[in-house]
């Protein structure tokens, strides 16, 4: 028997919720990511609960124990039970009645086996009791030990229930898998056209998580081989992604987020539209692309140190060695201040001529490695303008 040892098992708030839900004999189990991650020794973010109690009974039992509940997803059998100021998502055992590739019609069940059968991957269909006893209805423990990502049951049937599971397959492979089930890969390739019916917001959400994995390069390469990458991100080229991950380890990334840099490396022409990026995210992609065309200190001056650092790592992945002392160079560029202002060229110049003169002076200042003083730049601007 496998037994889970994890700090969250000693959480009094979790214990209160589990005790309340099981007060009249219903099963109340920790499920999914918390069990998977604890067994792998990975951090646990949220603890979700699965129960044989119906949603209305979960609410009643919680309130009887002095806990507040919120019907956050009542149509899907989910309520949030709040204990000690923290929310725990509680979902009743379910079985699928009808699916259309995007959403499912479900019926409640009393059996953990039926609930497990509707989950996506075997490593996500693991349950644990309040004492830590692990329940494995679909054979997920051997897969988890081997880091083998396998769909529950027939891969085609699981994907047909929700085509987003194709992207979830590659995302979970990047985060938790070493071995991809060949039948699962074949099903992802065969059914990839179903992703056309999935909203770009949901696709973008999955792609962000995938690209944030410690090393997504193998999973993304398999996506490309399966014809999935070109479908969700047309024009993307993952060829240099392994080198980017290596550069990140070699040169360090600090607090810089991973997925924007890795997405920029893929160089998909319309990534913002394909993944429904926010305005700020799209602007970041444009800035990184612009920084790639500039000398790193100049990139830091124009777009900021963080954007320039992203571009340095991408250039390193593409075979260009970073300049010596590049961190210092980026700091120097980011702190540089162009010493000439429009008022320095007035009243001699005005209108478009003034703008052109400032641009020429700026170009000379950049060419001098930010060293030319204001008076020299003023003379350059005025003399160039006189020649024009």
Q: Which residues of the chain have pLDDT under 70?
A: 97-105, 253-256, 384-388
How many Å apart are CA 41 and CA 81, to the nearest integer? 26
Cα dihedral value 354, 360, 362, 365, nearest 10: -140
Q: Hey, what are 261's tokens?
A: 């840099």
On whether the CB atoms of residues 257 and 281 are closer than 8 A, the answer is no
Fold adopted by 146-232: cca-adding enzyme, domain 2 (1.10.3090)
> In the prediction, which pLDDT does 387 show?
42
Q: Looking at residue 383, what is its pLDDT?
A: 78
DSSP 255-273: T--HHHHHHHHHT-TTHHH
- The DSSP element (H or E) to which 290 belongs, if any, is helix 279-291
Other beta carbons within 10 angstroms of residue 189's beta carbon come to 15
SS3 content of the chain, % helix, strand, coil (to 5): 55, 15, 30
DSSP state of 101: B
> Domain 1-145 adopts which CATH fold?
Beta Polymerase; domain 2 (3.30.460)
93 contacts 108 by C-beta, under 8 angstroms: yes
Which among 100, 132, 137, 143 is positioned nearest to 116, based on CA atoms?
Answer: 137
Q: What pLDDT is stored for residue 99 in this prediction?
A: 59
Do the domains 146-232 and 1-145 match in fold?
no
Question: pTM of this prediction?
Answer: 0.88
pLDDT the model gives residue 388:
39
Q: Which helix (H) or strand (E) holds 88?
A: strand 86-92
Q: Where are the domains of the chain?
A: 1-145, 146-232, 238-336, 342-387
Half-sphere exposure for 346 (CA within 13 Å, toward CB): 8
């Amino acid at each position: 028997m496998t037994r889970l040892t994890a700090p969250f098992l000693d959480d009094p708030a979790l214990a209160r919720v589990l005790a309340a839900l099981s007060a009249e004999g219903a099963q109340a189990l920790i499920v999914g990511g918390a069990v998977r991650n604890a067994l792998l020794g990975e951090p646990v973010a949220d603890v979700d609960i699965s129960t044989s109690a119906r949603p209305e009974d979960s609410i009643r039992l919680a309130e009887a124990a002095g806990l507040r509940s919120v019907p956050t997803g009542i149509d899907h059998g989910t309520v949030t039970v709040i204990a000690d100021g923290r929310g725990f998502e509680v979902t009743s055992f379910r079985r699928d009645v009808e699916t259309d590739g995007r959403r499912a019609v479900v019926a409640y069940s009393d059996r953990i086996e039926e609930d497990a059968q509707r989950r996506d991957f075997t490593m996500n269909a693991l349950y644990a009791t309040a004492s830590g006893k692990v329940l494995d209805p679909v054979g997920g423990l051997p897969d988890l030990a081997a880091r083998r990502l396998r769909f529950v049951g027939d891969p085609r049937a699981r994907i047909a229930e929700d085509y987003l599971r194709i992207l979830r397959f590659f995302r979970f492979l990047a985060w938790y898998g070493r071995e991809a089930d060949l039948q699962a890969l074949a099903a992802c390739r065969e059914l990839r056209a179903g992703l056309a019916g999935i909203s770009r917001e949901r696709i973008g959400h999955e792609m962000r998580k995938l690209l944030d994995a410690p090393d997504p390069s193998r999973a993304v390469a398999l996506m490309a081989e399966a014809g999935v990458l070109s479908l969700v991100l047309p024009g993307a080229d993952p060829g240099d992604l392994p080198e980017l991950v290596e550069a990140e380890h070699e040169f360090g990334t600090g607090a810089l987020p991973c997925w924007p840099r890795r997405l920029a490396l893929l160089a998909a022409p319309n990534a913002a539209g394909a993944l429904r990026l926010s305005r700020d995210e799209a602007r970041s992609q444009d800035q990184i692309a612009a920084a790639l065309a500039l000398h790193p200190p100049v990139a830091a001056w124009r777009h900021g140190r963080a954007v320039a650092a992203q571009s340095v790592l991408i250039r390193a992945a593409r075979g260009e060695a970073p300049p010596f002392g590049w961190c210092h160079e980026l700091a120097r560029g980011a702190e540089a201040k162009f010493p000439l202002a429009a008022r320095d060229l007035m009243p001699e110049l005005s209108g478009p001529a003034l703008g052109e003169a400032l641009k020429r002076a700026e170009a000379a200042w950049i060419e001098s490695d930010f060293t030319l003083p204001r008076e020299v730049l003023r003379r350059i601007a005025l003399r160039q303008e006189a020649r024009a």
